[in-house]
Amino acid sequence: MKLSKREVLSFFEERGASRNELDRKSLIFQDSNFQDWLLSHTGTPTELNTAAYSEPALKSQHLSTLADLDVFDLEEFIHENGVTKELAETVSAAQLNCLSEKCRSEVMSALDEERAQEREIWYSLVELVQTGLPFSPVEGKQHFERRNGDLTVTFSAPNDQKLPSGIYARAIFVWLSTEAVKSKSSEANLGNSLKRFVTDTLGQKWTTGKRGNNKTWEAALTSVLSMSITVVRKGRLIEKGEGTRIDNFSVAKKAVLWSSDSYEKDVGAYIEFDDSFLDALKRSAVPGSAEAMRAILNSSSCMAFDAYCWITYRYFRLEQSGNAVADIPWRDLWRQSGSNYGELSRFKQAFIQALAGVKEIYPEANFSDGGPSSSHLRLYRSTPHISPQRILQKEIKNG
């Protein structure tokens, strides 16, 4: 029996190896000198050092699509053959998210600029961008409320579930929103195991044991799918004068998930999106750079993630208004945030630190915190990271 690269990488992945570690081990395994040593010194046959007696390697002229390749084979194919524009067009968003930076860049460069930008967009919902899920678990309550001017957003959970919170819930919500917008389907397939969903689809780390995050991922997914959201807007309603608008929606109408005691069991899992969720996305999906969001998710900072989503949305609003600047009261930001800072000064310090990280991945963002005594965050009109109006016209079918 020949040892495969996939078996080797799976061995290390199950023991908590990071994506970078797996990439390094993959390169070592593929090294011809290492393969020769394995065969001559240990007698270990592999799929590479016995290639002369095995099936021929994948060649570009034999493939019309890359969509059916798993991540390991896709990485190997790109390393050996490169990728044409035609084949790059067949790489799915889920595959793209899981590729190494080198291979992802090669795929993106093969696409024309406009198409590449479309593939590297993730979405959230404007009501979450204007407020936010809680940063940390909410104990003893089944609802969480945040206000932003005339907007009030209330997240509610069933009695036997906790409210979604933290970076894992944010990753899951953004993926579900993106899948609903891009696939234009009422269903999403989550794959055959929770582990594969987390590592292959979300591109996040998966660990087990006493300090593992597997249970946290399970709880986050269940809580996002179980929650309901109530959005209340007061004030002037378009062409209807003063009034109140109330929208209630849930992410999932129905969901079938994996067994909690067998993550690797070969049972598919899927979600049927609630119509109210799809309608909300059609009205107000907010795009952002997938590369930027991926980097922030890997840093595990809820504050930085929410700050990035919020500031990209505000810059778009600022550009549409024609104004040069916008002053945002720190107290309003504090009240609308999902953070649990008890003091405004501590929130302000943490938000400024998060904005510094956002500036590194979004250098066009131009703002001033005004110093320690300032009561406002000032935003100067800046180029939006992603233009919501242009992208949504392409991504969403209305009616």
pLDDT digits (tens, 9 = 90+) for 207-216: 888 888 888 9
pLDDT (0 to 100) of residue 60: 56
pLDDT (0 to 100) of residue 190: 78
Across the range 352-376, mean pLDDT stands at: 91
Q: 92, 119, 146 — which closes off a domain? A: 119
Same domain, 167 and 236: yes
Q: C-alpha angle 39/45/49, rounded to 5°?
A: 70
% of the chain beyond a pLDDT of 90: 35
Q: What is the dihedral of CA 264, 157, 154, 342, to 10 degrees?
A: -90
Task: Write out the H or E segment, with its range, that includes residue 233.
Answer: strand 228-237
The answer to which of 24-33, 157-166, 183-192, 335-344 has the lowest mean pLDDT is 24-33
- pLDDT band at 359; cut points 50, 70, 90: very high
Same domain, 220 and 345: yes
| Strand ordering across the sheet containing 143-148 | 143-148, 151-156, 228-237, 241-250
Q: 69, 84, 119 — which closes off a domain? A: 119
pLDDT at 43 over 70: no
Query: Higher pLDDT residue, 168 or 34?
Result: 168
pLDDT at 143 over 60: yes
pLDDT (0 to 100) of residue 238: 57
Same domain, 141 and 115: no
Query: Higher pLDDT residue, 378 or 25?
Result: 378
pTM reported for the whole predicted model: 0.69
pLDDT (0 to 100) of residue 155: 96
Mean pLDDT value across the chain: 81
Q: Kindly report, residue by residue over 74-87, the tens digit of the pLDDT.
A: 888 888 888 888 88
Same domain, 29 and 134: no
% of the chain beyond a pLDDT of 70: 77
Same domain, 61 and 141: no
Q: 72, 87, 119 — which closes off a domain? A: 119
pLDDT (0 to 100) of residue 399: 35
Query: Higher pLDDT residue, 365 or 26?
Result: 365
Long-range contacts at 395-398 (CB < 8 A, ≥ 24 apart): 395/118, 395/121, 395/181, 395/182, 395/285, 396/181, 396/184, 396/281, 396/282, 396/285, 397/184, 398/282
pLDDT (0 to 100) of residue 112: 66
Q: Exposed, middle or buried by CB within 10 Å (0-12, 13-18, 19+), for 1?
A: exposed
Residue 352: how many CB atoms within 10 A of its CB?
Answer: 16
pLDDT (0 to 100) of residue 56: 47
Same domain, 164 and 198: yes
CA neighbor of 199 nearest in space, from 217, 216, 181: 217
Same domain, 112 and 131: no
pLDDT (0 to 100) of residue 223: 95
The total number of structural domains in the chain stands at 2
Residue 300: how many CB atoms within 10 A of its CB?
Answer: 14
pLDDT at 165 over 80: yes
Same domain, 333 and 378: yes
The residue segments making up the domain with residue 250 are 122-395
Same domain, 253 and 278: yes
Same domain, 279 and 152: yes
Same domain, 243 and 181: yes
Across the range 388-399, mean pLDDT stands at: 45
pLDDT at 364 over 70: yes
Same domain, 278 and 175: yes
Say which DSSP state 42 is in. I
